[in-house]
Amino acid sequence: MFKAAINAELLKDALAALAVIVDEVRFKIKPEGISVKAVDPANVAMGIFELGSSAFDEYSADESEIGIDLNKITDLLGIADKSDTVRMELEEENHKLLIDVGGLSYTLSLLDPSTIRAEPRVPQLELPAKVVLNGADLRRAVRAAEKISDHMLMGVSGDTFFMEAKGDTDQVRLEMGRDQLIDLKAGEACSLFSLDYLTDIVKPTNKVNEVTLSLGRDFPVLIDFEIANGAGRISYLLAPRIESD
């Protein structure tokens, strides 16, 4: 059993953050909320998604697992107004999700969860440095780096967080000191990341006040932030690139 109601824009934003990683998703539904763990097809980025029951206007659920094509549901939500309420109800016996929004009733066929890649194991990493910054600052640096290169260094040196991209002839660097950051835990950290992935991952951070980056030396970065006004959380784990030249 699963029956819930939630604000349309909040749901749209949450699903957009997930769509960065995968199109077809196994949602784990529990009485305390919904969660997803997914890896992108190339095994470079992982998304860990949690949306607690308090994010919903109404929520009642047993344990179950459903498979959803995010593109379909995003398409449908595109027609909703921001302030619309989305009502969802699971029809377990015939594998349908009933969605009601803006007077329209959708009947969505669910995917068989067993056809979707299984939940990955989340690695336990020791990431010595931690940086908390504004999402818009992060996104701006990534957009600037894209103009120059297809990969980008991120690291912490002393009390300074830096991002840097080098092209054939040009270069861009952002440095933020302790006073420009929301928080900084110093630690030796410097890793190179693919901008293909970072560009997508930082898109949903644009409206986010506090994004936390956890970094190491040639280690993955953990990028995480709250969604749904604190009632949910999304974490991305992005593997480093080996220095190319």
* Shortest CB 99 distance to a second copy, Å: 9
Distance, in Å, from the CA atom of 123 to the CA atom of 115, rounded to the nearest integer, reads: 23
Q: Report the residue number, 172 or 235, with the smaller CB distance to a second copy.
A: 172
Q: How many residues of this chain bind a second copy (CB under 8 A)? A: 28
Q: Is residue 192 within 8 Å of residue 240, measured between CB atoms?
A: yes
Does 138 help bind a second copy (rule: CB under 8 A)? no
Which parts of 34-73 interact with a second copy (CB under 8 A)? 72
In terms of Cβ atoms closer than 10 Å to its own Cβ (0-12, 13-18, 19+), residue 2 is buried
Does 109 help bind a second copy (rule: CB under 8 A)? yes
Which parts of 163-182 interact with a second copy (CB under 8 A)? 169-176, 180
* Shortest CB 86 distance to a second copy, Å: 13
Q: Report the residue number, 176 or 234, with the smaller CB distance to a second copy.
A: 176
Q: Is residue 29 within 8 Å of residue 61, measured between CB atoms?
A: yes
Residues that bind a second copy (CB under 8 A): 72, 75-76, 79, 102-109, 137, 140-141, 143-144, 147-148, 169-176, 180
